[in-house]
Amino acid sequence: MMAFDWIGKWAEYSPEKVAIRDVKLAIDFTYKALNELAQDIAFNLHKNFGLVKGDRIAILSAFNAEFIALFSAAQKAGYILVPINTHLTAHEVAYQIENSQAKLIIFEDAFAGKLKDLKPPKINWNEISGSSKETYSNSISEDDPIFILYTSGTTGRPKGCIYTHKMLFWNSINTELRLDITSNDITLNCMPSFHTGGWNVLITPFLHHGGTIWLLNEFEPHLVLECLEKSKSTLFMAVPTMLKIMSDSNAFAEADLTAIRYFIVGGEALPIPEIETWDKKGILIRQGFGLTEVGPNVTSLHQSDTTRKRGSIGFFNFYITGKVVNEAGQECKPEEVGELLISGPNVSPGYWNNPEETTKAFADDYFKTGDLVKRDSEGYIYVVGRKKEMYISGGENVYPREVEKVLQTNPAISEAVVVGVPHEKWGETGAAFVIKKPGSEITEEEVLNYCKEYLAKFKLPKHIVFLDEFPKNATGKIDKKEIKSKLNQTIKTSNHENK
């Protein structure tokens, strides 16, 4: 038995305990059953598909019990999982599969159309396991990767973050110590399978500590509230958009959530009115902060401080070292804004096949998050902005440069600039400012339709604005700050609902 074989260990300790409940299928998987499935998968992938330690497996699917068993198979055999965002276009999916050099693609039938022209062998979940009782395992080093998780890049191409067994372990320990996770805990997961948050905020820490996970792959607020009540969930992870939709649901008032200790909220800060709404329901809010490359569970604000320290992301989690530095690399004083740097065993070694971006991401042993923060006199951390130009739309990270590169490939467009703007429902969305080529008559609708071919839905700009020229700064560069400051005067609000 290997040190990282978590499900295998719990199959010994608590074989009949429910590990996974598939809500849609109404099927329970005990730790024993899940471990046997994982062993079968590990062997089948080796014998029938020739996979060995270090081979990448791309997965285009929502969560299911087989996906969790595949994770366990990766812990046993040393396979590397590459979960692909199911919202991406076929172009975007192809890039990540080719970049990761995946040896096999596992897909959910609903997404088969996005994989038609790809070379690696493709199987659906029905083909992932065999009937052999044989096992296949390898010696695993803590520095071996278990995931490659793609994050959108400021260069316009997603970067594959290498996520190691060591990161997995220390993130789990950090999470358990700050959230008091035990084998008695139960959670409902409706986060996506392609996010580090979906895997590593609660699922993998729960599997490490022998908890129970209900899997729900659709976000219907009444169904989420019903499952939280039926499962007697003790912890629940959500992004602010989800909580707002849930509290607006007709089922909100009657839902019995007395088993909940608190909700964990990430992605962005939860507005105070929403915190107060849930407080009246008896639900405490535990806000946190993180990113793919460093855990992701970096900070946590204790639920007792939610109102007193409104807007704060709390303190660094247990085995994490962090500092806030100015442009000169010097540590900032209280209330001074600087970039957040993170160090510790939870930090990624870098990006897959991308040494240039890996080098840029580090300052000595510290990962440069690109987030601008400050600490108050008591040490509480507050996010005040983003050094990078990323914005968050409905909990999804969007990098303007990626959208701009797509727009600039349109033969009717001369230049394009994308900025994040406030959105009542999604927190932020994109506004694309476009300069047409001479003689072009391209319309807003045509620009949007072009984007739809190459970009996932959450990346699509909500507003298309045609300008004659872009404001420039003293160095001749396009001044995005000036564009944003004049947004209310220049934007032409469209009726497109792109979510």
Give residue-wise pLDDT tens across range 140-185: 999 999 999 998 654 568 999 999 999 999 999 999 999 999 999 9
Could you say which of 338, 363, 381 is where a domain stops? 381
Given pLDDT bands bounded at 50, 70 and 90, which one contains residue 401? confident
Looking at the fold, whether 348 and 400 belong to one and the same domain comes out as: no
Q: Would you say residue 257 lies in a domain?
A: yes
Looking at the fold, whether 118 and 192 belong to one and the same domain comes out as: yes
Tokens of 227: 């499952």
**What are phi and psi for residue 375, nearest 5 degrees?**
-115, 140
Looking at the fold, whether 49 and 76 belong to one and the same domain comes out as: yes
Contact by Cβ (8 Å): 370, 292? no
Q: Is the pLDDT of residue 217 over 80?
A: yes
Looking at the fold, whether 136 and 206 belong to one and the same domain comes out as: yes
Q: How does strand 262-265 pair with strand 285-289?
A: parallel
Looking at the fold, whether 327 and 430 belong to one and the same domain comes out as: no
- pLDDT recorded at residue 473: 55
Given pLDDT bands bounded at 50, 70 and 90, which one contains residue 469? confident
Distance CA 461, CA 433 (A): 10
Domain count of the fold of the chain: 2
By C-alpha distance, which of 429, 499, 497, 437 is closest to 466? Answer: 437
| Helices 221-231 and 240-247: angle between axes, nearest 10 degrees | 90
Residues contacting 468, CB < 8 A, separation 6+: 435
**Which residue range forms the structural domain that includes residue 447?**
391-497
- pLDDT recorded at residue 490: 55
> Span 422-426, mean pLDDT?
86
Q: What average pLDDT does the chain have?
A: 91
Looking at the fold, whether 358 and 409 belong to one and the same domain comes out as: no
Contact by Cβ (8 Å): 235, 179? yes
Give the long-range contacts of residues 416-422, CB within 8 A, separation 24 or more. 417/470, 417/478, 417/480, 417/483, 418/461, 419/389, 419/391, 419/480, 419/483, 419/484, 419/487, 420/389, 420/390, 420/391, 420/392, 420/393, 421/462, 421/463, 421/484, 421/487, 421/491
Q: Would you say residue 13 lies in a domain?
A: yes
Looking at the fold, whether 312 and 406 belong to one and the same domain comes out as: no
Q: Would you say residue 386 lies in a domain?
A: no
> Span 245-272, mean pLDDT?
92
Q: What pTM does this model have? A: 0.84
Element spanning 280, H or E = helix 272-280
By C-alpha distance, which of 129, 136, 176 is closest to 33? Answer: 129
- Assign residue 431 the CATH number of its domain: 3.30.300.30
Looking at the fold, whether 360 and 433 belong to one and the same domain comes out as: no
> Span 27-37, mean pLDDT?
98
- Assign residue 104 the CATH number of its domain: 3.40.50.12780
Looking at the fold, whether 406 and 354 belong to one and the same domain comes out as: no
Given pLDDT bands bounded at 50, 70 and 90, which one contains residue 495? very low
Q: Would you say residue 190 lies in a domain?
A: yes
Looking at the fold, whether 337 and 429 belong to one and the same domain comes out as: no
**What are phi and psi for residue 28, nearest 5 degrees?**
-100, 145
Given pLDDT bands bounded at 50, 70 and 90, which one contains residue 477? low
> Span 68-72, mean pLDDT?
98
- pLDDT recorded at residue 489: 59
Given pLDDT bands bounded at 50, 70 and 90, which one contains residue 487? low
Could you say which of 381, 403, 436 is where a domain stops? 381
Looking at the fold, whether 372 and 395 belong to one and the same domain comes out as: no
User: Count of CB atoms within 10 A of residue 110's CB?
Assistant: 11
- pLDDT recorded at residue 155: 53
